[in-house]
């Protein structure tokens, strides 16, 4: 067991982990963060995506210990001040059906919009290419991201 520290959704959290503990399991089982989902457990589906120092990563592929001292953001944090505009668009456009892919998609799309507030359709497709969704055919997800960008926000809020 090793003691490590995360800044998780803006909060400093200390915890003990084994060297082979996986970030996804630690978030879900030890830290009570349930939004990242396990869809494959080997880096193929993107359901487990979280932002690590602002970069989206697949938390099923990362050891918890490697993230010591880093900042982790999940959908719990992204939506902590009420719905983001992106989430509002997801809701408005019926972007999710079963919703199991939603947290991962939200992470990838949020990362994209933070880095590139005016993405093209192709850039949106690329940004979520690692997030499998079996239900929607992606169109309503892509549309929501594009619409969020297009409608913009004077305060730069997502």
Partner 1 sequence: MKNKGLDSGLPRPDAVAKACGKSVYLPDLKFPGMLHAVVVSSPVASGVIKKIDISEALKVSGVKAILTAENAGINNKIGMIYDDQSLLAEDKVRMVGDRLALIAATSLEAAMEARDRMVIEIDEMPGVYDIRTALNDGSPKVHESGNLFKEFFVKRGDFEDAVVKADVVIEDDYTIGGQEHAYLETQGTVAFPVHDGSYRIYSSTQCPFYVRFRVARMLGIPHNMIRVIQTVTGGAFGGKEDYPDEPAMCAAALCKATGKPVRLVLPRVYDMQCSTKRHSMAIKHKLYATKGGKILGVKAEILVDAGAYAGLSTIVAERANTSAVGPYSIGAVDVHTKVIYTNNLFGGPYRGFGAPQVGAVHESQIDRLAMTVGIDPIKIREMNGLSRENPVFSSGEVLPQAHIYQDMLKLMKEKSNWDDHYNAKGKVDGYWREGIGLGTTIYGVNLHWGGSRLDRGASLVSILNDGSVSLAVGVTEMGQGNLAAMRTICANAFGISEELIRIEEVDTALVPDSGPTVASRSVMSGGNAVIDGVKQLNERLCSVAAKILKVESDTVICRNGQFISPKTEETTPWKKVVEMLYLKKINPSAIGWYRSEDRIYDPETGQGRAYAFYSFGGHVVRLRVDTQTGAIDVLETTAVHDVGQIINLVGIEGQVQGGTVQGLGWAIMEDFRMHKGKMLNAGFTDYSIPSSMDVPAVMNMAFIEEPEPQGPFGAKGIGEPSFISVGAAVLNAVSNALGRDISVLPLTPEKVIEIITEKH
User: Does 11 sit near ligand FES (CB under 6 A)?
Assistant: no
Closest CA relative to residue 57, chosen from 32, 91, 23: 23
Cα–Cα distances in Å, from 58 out to 28, 62, 82, 118, 150? 14, 7, 25, 25, 28
Q: Can you tell me the distance from the alpha carbon of 75 to that of 21, in angstroms, rounded to the nearest whole number?
A: 21
End-to-end CA gap in the chain: 38
Q: Stretches 26-34, 43-51, 111-119, 143-151: which one binds ligand FES (CB under 6 A)?
A: 43-51
Residue 48 binding ligand FES, by CB under 6 A: yes
Question: Which of 60, 56, 97 has its CA nearest to residue 73?
Answer: 56
95 lies in the site for partner 1, by CB under 8 A = yes
Q: Is 24 in the site for partner 1 (CB under 8 A)?
A: no
Cβ atoms of 59 and 103 closer than 8 Å: no
**Residue span 87-116 as binding mask against ligand FES, x where in contact by CB under 6 A, dash where not:** ---------xxxxxx---------------
Q: What is the spatial distance between Cα 31 and Cα 8, in angstroms, rounded to a whole number?
A: 9
Q: Which does 60 bind (CB under 5 to 8 A by kind): ligand FES, partner 1, none?
A: ligand FES
Which residue from 44, 66, 151, 153 is in contact with partner 1, where contact means CB under 8 A? 44
Contact by Cβ (8 Å): 107, 54? no
# chain residues binding ligand FES, by CB under 6 A: 22
Which three-class secondary structure state does DSSP give residue 69? coil
Residue in 113, 136, 148, 149 binding partner 1, rule: CB under 8 A: 136
Instruction: Name the minimum Å distance from CB 125 to partner 1.
Output: 4
> Taking the complex as a whole, how short is the minimal distance between the CB of residue 17 and partner 1, in angstroms?
14
Rule CB under 6 A: which residues touch ligand FES?
Answer: 38-41, 43-48, 58, 60, 96-101, 133-136
């Amino acid at each position: 067991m090793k003691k490590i520290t995360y800044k998780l959704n803006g909060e400093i959290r200390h915890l003990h982990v084994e060297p082979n503990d996986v970030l996804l399991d630690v978030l879900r089982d030890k830290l009570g963060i349930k939004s990242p989902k396990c869809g494959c457990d080997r880096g193929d589906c993107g359901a487990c995506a979280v932002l690590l120092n602002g970069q989206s990563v697949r938390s099923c592929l990362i050891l918890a210990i490697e993230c010591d001292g880093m900042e982790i953001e999940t959908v719990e944090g992204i939506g902590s001040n009420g719905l983001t505009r992106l989430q509002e668009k997801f809701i408005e456009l019926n972007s999710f059906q079963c919703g199991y892919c939603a947290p991962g998609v939200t992470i990838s799309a949020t990362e994209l919009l933070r880095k590139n507030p005016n993405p093209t359709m192709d850039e949106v497709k690329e940004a979520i290419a690692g997030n499998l969704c079996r239900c929607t055919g992606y169109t309503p997800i892509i549309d929501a991201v594009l619409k969020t960008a297009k409608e913009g926000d004077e305060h730069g809020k997502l």
